[in-house]
Amino acid sequence: MFDIGIVGGGAVGSSIAYELSRFNLKIAVFEKEPDVIFGASGRNSGVVHAGFYYRPGSLKAKLCVEGNKKIKEWMKILNVPFKATGKILVAFEEEEVQELYKLKEIGDTNGVEGLEIIKGSENVQKLCPTVGEAVACMYSPATAIFSPYLFVIALAETNLLNDVKYFLNCKIVEVKRENGNFMLKDQNGNRYECRWLINATGVHCAEFSKMVGIDSYRIYPCKGEYLLLDKALAPLLNMPIYPVPSKDVGAYLGVHITPTVEGPITIGPSAEYIEDPEGYETTPEIMEQLFQGGYKLWPYFKRSDVIRTFTGVRAKPVPPGDKTFYDFLIKEEESVPNFINLIGIESPGFTSAPAIARVVREIIEKKEKLIPKEKFVPASPRKERFEDLPEEEKQRRARENPEYGEIICRCEKVTKREIIEAIENPLGAKTLASIKYRTRAMMGRCQGGYCLPKIVEILEKEFGYKPEDFQLHKEGSWLFSGRMRKND
């Protein structure tokens, strides 16, 4: 029996677990996928938002501003890479300048620090030398970039050290109330009991809420496609460049161009409503639009710089065409006591996650006193990437351990030691994508052309994988149909 059952192991679910694991509570996180970063938390812009887009007084405004500070603190504690780049919103036409002033006013009201309007193309280029010809910009120094997947992985691994239980490949398919508690059942018929139930299922939140008996919410999945550009371009972009948000699409920030902490540059996201909450498809038309849109902001890339495309899906609580402002919904449902619902946690959901976790904690604290744990581990040990070490240190380690000498991924220069540590990850995530997100192997410009066979060899020789054990990223994503010939 668990005190807390959190369904969904993404940024929100894992942040809540982190917040609550400071107390004497038995916590379980149920995640239907084989890893915690396969939902929206692994498919976004990786921007720590400042909070000037959202209606003053709204939860989005408050939690984003609070989250902006908090997530940076958490990242320092957890040793997750982020860069305080700041960002600019650029106006290309005079009419757009008015919009910048409006956003600044909203931002100032919301308590966003340091917003500044800067006029004149030259002055804009002083901040960001490579931006396209702009009339003016708003500079937001509080905005930052970070590695979204490493953040969630660091949270989850720390949570394990604080006795949070993670159940991967565990899809909750049924929820019943028994003796005032929740009885959960997964797709394999396993049962779990908990006193509190938290819905952190992202784009599936309405569906899950219905499972618990509350059918009053709807989610309209809205996908965002991205292009990913070769990291060779990284020196040419020092901060995210955003357009002035369009008034036609509700709460859509527009196609932006964003550096990532690891180097590659993202262009996106688009915004299209789709049926399938996991319709992670890219389309030729949108890819072309992104190319054009990105080029206007930052004319420094070619078609051949694209190394990959990807898609995330937003959990929008309003249908297409509805331009009213809508807020995060975070509450304990009156009709189902101890059930905390989180609905419509889309952007800035990631930035806000630590603040959302605080709100959830306070909801629980209203009903029961939480007793701090004697021993709380603030962070699991995280190593720097080998490639980021000084050369002398690299040589020293390689002399001591042959696995640091062997480079498995040539594009991102990932060593065998790092691959092995990723395979042995404490969550027990077993897919190839799990290794990819943890090490960056297979993420570079050759997309695994060189290292995939090498990683396969390590898994086979050192971890005893059989052909049928290899999975790319989810149940059924087999790599091999068998052996070619008998192995000798």
Partner 1 sequence: MTEKDVVIIGAGPAGLACATRLKEIGVNDVLLIEREKKLGGILNQCIHDGFGLHKFKETLTGPEYIERYLQKLINYKVEVLSDTMVVNLFPDKSMILSGPWGREKIKAKAVVLAMGCRERTAGAIWLAGSRPAGVYTAGVAQRLMNIDNYMIGNEVVILGSGDVGLIMARRLTLEGARVLMVLEKLPYSSGLPRNISQCLNDYDIPLYLKTTVTRIHGKARIEGVTYVSLDDEGKPIPGSERFIRCDTLLLSVGLIPENELSREAGVAIHPVTGGPIVNDTYQTNIEGVFAAGNVLHVHDLADWASMEGELVADFAKRYLEGSLPQTQNWIEVKAGEGIRYVLPQRISGKIDVNLLFRVSFPARNKHIVIKDKDRIIKRKRVINPHPAIMENIEVKRDELKGVQSLEVMIE
Ligand X SMILES: Cc1cc2nc3c(=O)[nH]c(=O)nc-3n(C[C@H](O)[C@H](O)[C@H](O)COP(=O)(O)OP(=O)(O)OC[C@H]3O[C@@H](n4cnc5c(N)ncnc54)[C@H](O)[C@@H]3O)c2cc1C
Which residues are part of the catalytic machinery? 49
Q: Does 346 bind ligand X (CB under 6 A)?
A: yes
Q: Does 144 bind ligand X (CB under 6 A)?
A: no
Q: Which is nearer to ligand X, 45 or 110 (CB)?
A: 45
Residue 304: name its binding partner from partner 1, ligand X, none (Cβ under 5 to 8 Å by kind). partner 1
H or E segment at 136? strand 136-140
Rounded CA-CA distance 411/429 in Å is 24
Question: Of 86, 264, 294, 348, which lies in the binding site for ligand X, with binding defined by CB under 6 A?
Answer: 348
Q: Which is nearer to ligand X, 243 or 269 (CB)?
A: 269
H or E segment at 76? helix 59-78
**What pairing do the DSSP bridges indicate for beta strands 339-343 and 47-48?**
unpaired
Closest by CA to 39, choosing from 188, 203, 190, is 203
Question: Which are the contacts of 170, defined by CB distance < 8 A and separation ≥ 6?
Answer: 30, 31, 32, 186, 187, 190
Phi, psi torsion values for 403, nearest 5 degrees: -70, -15
Q: Which is nearer to ligand X, 208 or 465 (CB)?
A: 208
Quote the tokens at residue 27: 């916590």
Tell me the CB-side half-sphere exposure of residue 165, using CA atoms within 13 A.
14
Q: Where are the alpha helices (DSSP H) in 79-129?
A: 94-110, 121-127
Q: Which is nearer to ligand X, 12 or 451 (CB)?
A: 12
Binding to partner 1, residues 193-232 (CB under 8 A): 228, 232
Closest by CA to 158, choosing from 380, 404, 437, 6, is 380
Q: Which is nearer to partner 1, 78 or 433 (CB)?
A: 433
Q: How many CB atoms are closer than 10 A to CB 142?
A: 21
Binding to ligand X, residues 8-27 (CB under 6 A): 8-13
Residue 446: name its binding partner from partner 1, ligand X, none (Cβ under 5 to 8 Å by kind). partner 1
Q: How far is the CB of 275 from ligand X (least distance, A)?
A: 16
Closest by CA to 383, choosing from 421, 433, 413, 426, is 421
Q: Does 137 bind partner 1 (CB under 8 A)?
A: no
- Fill in the per-residue mask, 304 to 333: x = in contact with partner 1 (CB under 8 A), - = not in contact: x-xxxxx-----------------------
Q: Does 404 bind partner 1 (CB under 8 A)?
A: yes
- Fill in the per-residue mask, 194 to 233: x = in contact with ligand X (CB under 6 A), - = not in contact: ------xxxxx---x---------------x---------
Q: Does 281 bind partner 1 (CB under 8 A)?
A: yes
Binding-site size for partner 1 (CB under 8 A) equals 57
Give yes or no for a cis peptide into 348 (omega within 30° of 0): yes
Q: Which is nearer to ligand X, 10 or 132 (CB)?
A: 10
Using the contact rule CB under 8 A, the part of the chain among 71-79, 125-133, 254-262, 275-283 near partner 1 is 275-283
Binding to ligand X, residues 29-68 (CB under 6 A): 30-33, 38-41, 43-47, 49
Tracing tokens 């190593």 back to the chain, one arrives at 383
Question: Which are the contacts of 349, defined by CB distance < 8 A and separation ≥ 6?
Answer: 11, 12, 40, 315, 328, 356
Quote the tokens at residue 365: 């604290």
Angle at which helix 432-439 crosses helix 416-423, to 10 degrees, equals 130
Question: Of 207, 406, 421, 469, which lies in the binding site for partner 1, with binding defined by CB under 8 A?
Answer: 406
- Please report, for residues 207, 265, 315, the alpha-carbon distance to residue 34 in angstroms, rounded to integers and kept in the order given: 20, 27, 21
Q: How far is the CB of 199 from ligand X (least distance, A)?
A: 9
Residue 300: name its binding partner from ligand X, partner 1, none (Cβ under 5 to 8 Å by kind). none
Rounded CA-CA distance 72/435 in Å is 25
Q: Does 100 bind ligand X (CB under 6 A)?
A: no
Q: How far is the CB of 28 from ligand X (least distance, A)?
A: 11
Contact 197, 5 (CB under 8 A): yes
Q: Which is nearer to ligand X, 44 or 415 (CB)?
A: 44
H or E segment at 48? strand 47-48
Q: Which is nearer to partner 1, 254 or 467 (CB)?
A: 467
Question: Which are the contacts of 406, defined by CB distance < 8 A and separation ≥ 6?
Answer: 415, 416, 417
Q: How far is the CB of 434 from ligand X (least distance, A)?
A: 13
Rounded CA-CA distance 310/280 in Å is 7
Q: Does 282 bind partner 1 (CB under 8 A)?
A: yes
List of residues contacting ligand X (CB under 6 A): 7-13, 30-33, 38-41, 43-47, 49, 171-172, 200-204, 208, 224, 269, 312-314, 345-351
List of residues contacting partner 1 (CB under 8 A): 228, 232, 278, 280-284, 287, 303-304, 306-310, 391, 394-395, 398-399, 402-407, 410-411, 413, 446-450, 452-453, 456-457, 460, 467, 471-485, 487
